[in-house]
Each structure stands twice: as structure tokens, then as C-alpha cells.
Amino acid sequence: MLPIAREGPGSAPLLTALFTATSAVCVTGLIVVDTPAYWSGFGQVAILAMIQVGGFGIMTLASLVGLLISRRLGLRSRLIAAAETKHVGLGDVGRVVIGVIKVSLLFEAVTATLLSARFALGYDQGLVRAIQLGVFHAVSAFNNAGFALFSDNLIGFAGDPWICLPIAAAVILGGIGFPVLFELRRQLRPRRWSLHTRLTIGMTVVLLISSTVFMMLAEWENPRTLGHLEPNDRLLSGFFNATMLRTAGFNSLDPGQLDSGTLLGSDVVMFIGGGSAGTAGGIKVTTFVLLLFVIWAEVRGDAEVSVLDRRIEPRVWRQALTVALFSVAAVVISTFVLVEMTEFSFDALLYESVSAFATVGLSTGITAKLPPAGQLVLIALMFVGRLGPISLVSALALRERHRLFHVPEGRPLIG
């Protein structure tokens, strides 16, 4: 709210400042004002700092929660967990924090270098301006924030692979999770990867391919989105915007021009999100794939749930189910509230709610048009979506009760 943070006279209103700060710290990317036009250089640096702190804090917090949970296990279970996870099982807090810092700065530096070179050589930006653009978008991309220093986000670069591909790569690496990146640095052979790494990478590849195919099939002939581009640019834009659904928030086409079916499919991808202990939001790919295996085991009549030759304890998949239902409830309740207080279409409001909860940052253009109460709903949703699943899982994992008795068994009718 400092006057120096705003381009025009005076200071930003409380709600505008609160919304922007929450969106930045929760690495979401939803905005109620035009970032490059409304905020001064000081304000943009403040936003960048909040994105960096928010992304770093989430990666560190989630990783340390894993460390804390592993230390609460018995010795035998801890040794099994350490052999299986190979990341934060028996490590120390300092190693986790330093590892997160190194990983973040390395990928941000590489991305910033590539983007700065492209802005300087391809768009005749001065060296200082090119570096500013490169650093800002690199940090925003790796932390899956989606803030951009262009009024149309990245629509002006829809056909430029030298801009889109480095940003997409940074988004994927940031959203895949620190434990996976840390393990990949030590072990590149898939056969020796932990179950968590195999599930995260496998499901990430499946989602990237399927969402890209879905986006191109759904929007290929839409003249308002992909339809007006050349075939090669359609492929690039389809992949880029499908990747951004993994809670990144950048866009090279206008989400407000997507067909209703595309919006609904996008809601699903955004809700799933990225990897655990990363900068992405959503319920996480491991939660989603684990629930798929639970359904498959029930359909087959198996007494136990097994994933890739590993037995999953009932407590783990109950946690996954709890997180998924908690997330569904948050999205449904917030969407209902927004529907009751505004006149926007249900498609747009559901898209907005999922985008806020999954900390994506994509919008059909209605964020700034929502009434103050509606913007407060999104602020709460961003905060809950960013910290809710982590806090819920850690609370469930660290709170364990052993009953000394069993009540009589009952069997209500299902279905």
C-alpha cells in the first residue's frame, strides 16, 4: 500500500493491495489491476520478492513436513521410508533448506538467462530492460505464479518458442516438486526411483500429453483462440497453455474465449495440479493417481491397494480421499457463493474458483469485475488452496490414535 509501489498518485486501496499480495505469496497469479501499468518498479520488485518467498516457503514447508512425519515413525518404518523415498526421510533440516535454495536459484538463473537473451536480441529491448523481463518471468515461471509484465500476459508471444518453451520448462520443473528434483539429481535410472518419484513423473507426463491433445482438439478450429494461428504456432500454443493449466497461470491465448467444454476440461486439469512439495497447487498428482488405484482395487475386489508393486497402507489412501473431498468442498462452496452474489456465467465462476483454489492464476477476465465480497472469497480460496492440503495432510499424518477396542461392525447400503 506504500505510495511508492503505485504508478499513479496516492496508494493502492486495501483490497487491491491485499488481493495482489495474497496472489503473489500464494504464487497464484490472479490480478485485479494491470501489473505493468498499475504497479511501479518498486511495486513490481515487491511482487517478485513475495513470489520468491512464497514459492521457496511452500517447497521448504512441504519438504520439512515430510521430514517431520518420517521422524514420527518407528525405527523400522523410518528405515523403510528412507530407503523408499530417498529425499527427506532421515535428512536434516539444514540440508533440505539449502537444497531448496540451490534448486530454485539454479533453474531461475538458467531460465532468466535464456529469456533475457531473447528479449534483448529478438525484441530490441535494452540490456537492463531485457534482464528485468527475463528475471521477473523466470522467477514467476519456476514458482508457478503466472505474473507477467505485459498487459496481455504472453499472448503477444504465442508463436515464439524461445519465450514459451523456457517458461514451460521452468513451470514443469518447479511444479514437479523438490523431492523429485533432489532425487533426479542423484539417480537418473528410473528403476531405482522411489515410488513417489515414479508416480509423480509418470502422471506428469500423462497429464501433459493428454491435456495438450485435449486443448488442441477442443480449440483447433476456434477462431478466437488457436484457430487464427499458423499450424506450427497452434501446436506450440496448445502445448504451452495446456502446461500452464498445471497451476502456472501464464497464457498465450485468452481464456475468456475458450469454449465451455474446454473450460470444464481445464477445471479438471487445474484441480489435479502438480507434484507434492513443489510450487504447484491442486490436490497433487500423487493424490489423484492414488485414488485411481484405490478405485481399481475396489473394482477388482482386491483387499489391499497396491501401486507399482508397493502396498499402500489404508491410512495413506484415506488421507488422499480426505484431501480430495476437502478440496471439492472448498471449490463447490466458493462457487455457490460467487454464483449467488454475481451475474456471471457458471462456467466462468467455476473456472475462477478452481483457478484460485489450485493457485493457477488463469481467469476468463472477471476477477477485477467481481464485487469486493467476491474478491474476498477468492483471497480466502487462494490462501486455503495454498496451505490447506499441506496442513490437512500433516495434521492427519501426525495425529494417530490407537483404540484398545473395536465397536460392532455395520454395513450400510452403498449406491
Q: How many CB atoms lie within 10 A of CB 333?
A: 13
- Lowest model confidence (mean pLDDT) among 22-31, 63-72, 182-191, 218-227: 63-72
Most confident of 135-139, 320-324, 398-402: 135-139
Residue of 29, 35, 6, 11 lying closest to 378 (CA atoms): 29
Chain centre to alpha carbon of residue 329: 19
pLDDT at res. 1: 94
Contact present, 104 and 136 (Cβ < 8 Å)? no
Chain centre to alpha carbon of residue 260: 22
Contact present, 45 and 135 (Cβ < 8 Å)? no
Angstrom distance (rounded) from CA 22 to CA 103: 24
Angstrom distance (rounded) from CA 1 to CA 17: 6
Confidence class for position 316, pLDDT limits 50, 70, 90: confident
Neighbour-count burial for 373-408, b at 16+ CB within 10 Å, e otherwise: ebbebbbbbbbbbbebbbebbbebbeeeeeeeeeee
pTM over 0.85: yes
* For residues 324-341, average pLDDT: 94
